[in-house]
């Protein structure tokens, strides 16, 4: 009998961003995004929690080697976003607003490509201790 | 293609309560609720985590404006319960035991009325760092 | 109308372990488990979060008496694993690798036997603040 | 050569309180203590951190047996305050306002009597994650 | 007899910054500040903990009214730095590198001006959960 | 005018240990160290917080380059203790009981040798979220 289990691994990065819609004027952006629309940017310590679900390997007792998962998160999320200006320096946000929702989706998509399809994948992204988003299969 | 995402926002309040069933005598309440049955009340720092699920707006990149959600949580939960005696000063607990389960249900119901039905709503309520409850659609 | 709710309770224990497959030689274990294969053991502060789901009792306003749940977690998980060497001193790991996944499964099985089948049970086990697993019904 | 070291141990309790000065009228208390002056009480999850400073015993490598310290904190602070109404049910607050400052001082005094004078004692008391006080020798 | 006590209050803000010395060339800044020298900025969730020391008022049982302290922290630190680019939008950092050390010193100086000199003041500033600085009288 | 400031940096490691005095018989060790005397070892997730105090460099605005400090902590504490059995595999504990006090002292001594004497050094070591020790100049 196989056992379905979930395994979670956390990572973190620090970045700057600005929330606004390019097609809107400053007043409309100010109204919708408030302080987050600051054209000089502000920033956060982001925390990511990656959740994989699948069957435990009965020999090793592992779902996935956590060192491998750690390495994938480091390369695809931590090093890719860390100490960056998300709007100016991250390809995926050239035309996409870097809200906590969209950073979560992009993190998911970057990880999804590197992980075997036998794993179900969900990503939780914390922008602050009080705000977070979750996205996944 | 629309993307279904969840967004989480935390709030907090401090309150006093007593756990007991009005129709039971003191001994039975003592047996079931132990120290929580103290007639002089005790209290907690409550933390609430509100989770909305729905489709990201492709223009703003948001599920909901977090400032609006914050305001609804403040009015319906934080200011409504904060620094109150739940048994004596909160309408909903006049005839309902203010257990962590019931405070969670009431918080959900108060928030549900103010939030568009297009959002699925779940509420997690922490009474201490070790005890919590979750309720929702 | 009955209300389905989830209640969470946390516990903790400290233990030593070594990760390896008995049938493999040292080199293969080193390759797969890295530092965790140290034959002299290493250890962790484990945190467990137990989640029960079911219907609130309309009289008491509780899903389960949290004092009872706390006692079951203490006996079946905390006192059973605390300050132990999982490989050498815990029956269930004599032939099972004490990975975070397997400790989670064993904790679930020990708790499942003591809890009424009317409750759905899920167990989250944290090995560190960054690694955890979840298993359940 | 002897080594001077500090050892810290945490405990916690939940309690209800009201902040007010008995000799003042309601308006003045409202003005100074705001919501904390609620005559029906409110409450908190208090955390205490006890710090002892002294010389390490060169044989055991301990400043004090942490199990003994844990027992003293349990008896003098945790069990003494837990699930109590501080104003109504704790002797020391009959005529003393149970502010975070005064609960800290009283905790210190209760612990000081039970601890050898060779230890310097400091007590940190958290009323919430954002408010705390520290008092000691 | 008067009692000397310390009271702590936490606040938080989110901001963007870049670490570099204007008089140095890019290579030297890169060498000393590494990723923090990114000309497009990065950011953090900053936490501040303000510690006042002085004598408890024997009537109120308070060192200072925590609501007043909260208001001063909000105005002088939280609202002043929140959602700002520290290098570009904060007067004090026009010619001062916004390191965790300097943000701590500036926060101290802004608070010191608003607090009665009878209080000793110390400020702890967290840039991340792992990095912080402390400065004060 | 020079400014004296403190800077803090956290690190972590996981290890196994046993507390006992070699010259005592099992009964005496059991009496003093209780469960910690388990001859099969148990373990912890240790957290270390290193505090340096000194003068801010007026040019860089730093007390010390945090990347350098991070590297020293990694080499002298994290990599040195991580995934080890402290009693069996760490030189300094061959004849020294690895209590939280002594691990704190040894961490201090290892760091002290690598840090310029112009810095005052203090080390806080957490064995669990509830137990810690502090030692330093």
What burial letters (b/e) apply to E3-34, b meaning 16+ CB within 10 Å? eebbbbbbbbbbbbbbbbeeebeeeebeebbe
User: Are the beta carbons of D42 and B84 separated by less than 8 Å?
Assistant: yes
Average predicted confidence (pLDDT) for chain C: 97
**Which pLDDT value is given to residue F92?**
98
Chains C, D in contact, 3 or more Cβ pairs below 8 Å:
no
Subunits touching D (CB < 8 Å, at least 3 pairs)? B, E, F
Alpha carbons D68 and D63: distance in angstroms, whole number = 11
Strand partners for E130 = none
Alpha carbons D48 and D75: distance in angstroms, whole number = 13
SS3 E118: coil
Which residue in the set B3, B10, B56 is minimally distant from A130, CB to CB? Answer: B10
Q: Which residues of D touch E56 (CB under 8 A)?
A: 101-102, 105
Quote the Cα angle for B7-B13-B16, to 5°: 140
Residues of D labelled catalytic: 36, 83, 127
Containing A100, the helix (H) or strand (E) segment is helix A100-114
Alpha carbons D30 and D32: distance in angstroms, whole number = 6
For the segment A47-53, the average pLDDT, to the nearest whole number, is 98
- D64 to chain F: closest CA residue: F101
**Which pLDDT value is given to residue B1?**
56
Q: Is E64 on the interface with F (CB under 8 A)?
A: no
A1–chain B nearest CA distance, Å: 31
Strand partners for C46 = C13
Low-confidence ranges of chain E (pLDDT < 70): 1
Average pLDDT along chain B, 137 residues, taken 10 residues at a time: 90 98 96 96 98 97 96 98 98 97 98 98 98 97
Which residue in the set D16, D82, D128 is minimally distant from B16, CB to CB? Answer: D16
Chains D, F in contact, 3 or more Cβ pairs below 8 Å:
yes
Query: Is the Cα torsion angle E67, E72, E78, E80 positive or negative in sign?
Result: positive
User: Are the beta carbons of F40 and C85 separated by less than 8 Å?
Assistant: yes
Structure tokens at E19: 């670490």
What burial letters (b/e) apply to F11-36, b meaning 16+ CB within 10 Å? bbbbbbbbbbeeebeeeebeebbeeb
Query: Is the Cα torsion angle D49, D54, D55, D57 positive or negative in sign?
Result: negative
Q: Which residues of E touch D19 (CB under 8 A)?
A: 61
User: Are the beta carbons of D101 and E67 separated by less than 8 Å?
Assistant: no
Tell me if B101 sits within 8 A of C63, measured CB to CB.
Answer: yes
- F32 to chain D: closest CA residue: D65
**Which pLDDT value is given to residue B2?**
73
Which residue in the set A32, A130, A135 is minimally distant from B5, CB to CB? Answer: A135
User: Are the beta carbons of B16 and D43 separated by less than 8 Å?
Assistant: yes
Q: How far is CA E71 from CA C120, E22, E78, in A?
A: 46, 35, 10
Quote the Cα angle for D43-D46-D48, to 5°: 160
Is pLDDT above 80 for A53? Answer: yes
Is pLDDT above 90 for A1? Answer: no
Alpha carbons E86 and E94: distance in angstroms, whole number = 9
Query: Is the Cα torsion angle F21, F24, F26, F27 positive or negative in sign?
Result: negative
Q: Which residues of C touch B136 (CB under 8 A)?
A: none
Q: Which residues of C touch A10 (CB under 8 A)?
A: 129-131
User: Are the beta carbons of B32 and C60 separated by less than 8 Å?
Assistant: yes
Is pLDDT above 60 for D1? Answer: no
Is pLDDT above 70 for F29? Answer: yes
DSSP structural state of residue C76: I
**Which pLDDT value is given to residue C48?**
98
Q: Is E82 on the interface with A (CB under 8 A)?
A: yes
The 10s digit of each residue's pLDDT in D30-64 is 999 999 999 999 999 999 999 999 999 999 999 99
**Other Cβ atoms within 10 Å of A79 Cβ, number:** 14
Give the helix, strand, coil percentages of chain C, each rounded to 5: 35, 30, 30
F16, F80, F132: which to substitute to probe chain C, counting the most C Cβ within 10 Å? F16
Which residue in the set D98, D102, D132 is minimally distant from E8, CB to CB? Answer: D132
Is pLDDT above 80 for F2? Answer: no
Q: From the CA atom positions of chain B, what is the Rg in Å?
A: 17
Tell me if B78 sits within 8 A of B11, measured CB to CB.
Answer: yes
Q: Which residues of D touch F32 (CB under 8 A)?
A: 60, 65
Structure tokens at E80: 């002043």
User: Are the beta carbons of E63 and D130 separated by less than 8 Å?
Assistant: no
**Which pLDDT value is given to residue F116?**
98
The 10s digit of each residue's pLDDT in A98-123 is 999 999 999 999 999 999 999 999 99
Structure tokens at D49: 């951190």
User: Are the beta carbons of E101 and F62 separated by less than 8 Å?
Assistant: yes
- CB-based contacts of E12, cutoff 8 Å, min separation 6: A128, E45, E46, E47, E48, E78
* pLDDT-derived band at F71, boundaries 50, 70, 90: very high
For the whole model, what pTM was predicted? 0.96
- Output the CA torsion F61→F62→F63→F68 (10° steps): -160
Is pLDDT above 80 for F22? Answer: yes
Chains A, F in contact, 3 or more Cβ pairs below 8 Å:
no
- E32 to chain F: closest CA residue: F65
CATH number of the structural domain spanning residue F65 = 3.30.479.10
User: Are the beta carbons of A5 and C133 separated by less than 8 Å?
Assistant: yes
Structure tokens at C48: 């467990």
For the segment A7-25, the average pLDDT, to the nearest whole number, is 97
Parallel, antiparallel or unpaired: strands A4-17 and C131-136: antiparallel
User: Are the beta carbons of F14 and C89 separated by less than 8 Å?
Assistant: no
Which residue in the set D97, D130, D131 is minimally distant from E61, CB to CB? Answer: D97
* pLDDT-derived band at D2, boundaries 50, 70, 90: confident
Structure tokens at C85: 């060497």
F85–chain C nearest CA distance, Å: 6
Q: Is E17 on the interface with A (CB under 8 A)?
A: yes
User: Are the beta carbons of E7 and D100 separated by less than 8 Å?
Assistant: yes
Range of the domain at B56: 4-136
- E44 to chain A: closest CA residue: A44
Tell me if C35 sits within 8 A of C42, measured CB to CB.
Answer: yes
**Which pLDDT value is given to residue A2?**
74
For the segment F71-82, the average pLDDT, to the nearest whole number, is 98
Q: Which residues of C touch F12 (CB under 8 A)?
A: 128
Which residue in the set C38, C83, C88 is minimally distant from F83, CB to CB? Answer: C38
D51, D60, D70, D122: which to substitute to probe chain F, counting the most F Cβ within 10 Å? D60
Structure tokens at A125: 């992204």
Q: Is E103 on the interface with F (CB under 8 A)?
A: no
DSSP structural state of residue E93: G
Q: Is C35 on the interface with F (CB under 8 A)?
A: yes
F134–chain D nearest CA distance, Å: 5
User: Are the beta carbons of E14 and A42 separated by less than 8 Å?
Assistant: yes
CB contacts < 8 A, C to F, total 75
Q: Is C49 on the interface with F (CB under 8 A)?
A: no
Alpha carbons B105 and B108: distance in angstroms, whole number = 5
Q: Is F100 on the interface with D (CB under 8 A)?
A: yes
How many domains does one find in chain F? 1
For the segment F92-119, the average pLDDT, to the nearest whole number, is 98
Quote the ipTM score.
0.95
C79 is catalytic: no
Q: How far is CA E77 from CA B36, E116, F33, in A?
A: 40, 17, 47
Residues of F labelled catalytic: 36, 83, 127
**Which pLDDT value is given to residue F1?**
56
């Amino acid at each position: 009998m196989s056992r379905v289990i979930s395994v979670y691994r956390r990572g973190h990065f620090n970045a700057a961003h600005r929330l606004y819609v390019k097609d809107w004027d400053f007043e409309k952006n100010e109204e919708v995004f408030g302080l987050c629309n600051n054209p000089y940017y502000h920033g956060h310590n982001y925390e990511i929690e990656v959740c994989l679900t699948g069957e435990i390997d009965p020999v090793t007792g592992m779902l996935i080697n956590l060192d491998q998962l750690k390495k994938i998160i480091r390369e695809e999320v931590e090093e890719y976003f860390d100490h960056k200006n998300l709007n100016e320096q991250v390809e995926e946000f050239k035309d996409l607003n870097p809200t906590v929702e969209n950073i979560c989706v992009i993190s998911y998509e970057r990880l999804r490509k590197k992980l075997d399809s036998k794993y179900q994948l969900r990503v939780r992204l914390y922008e602050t201790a009080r705000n977070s988003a979750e996205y996944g299969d």
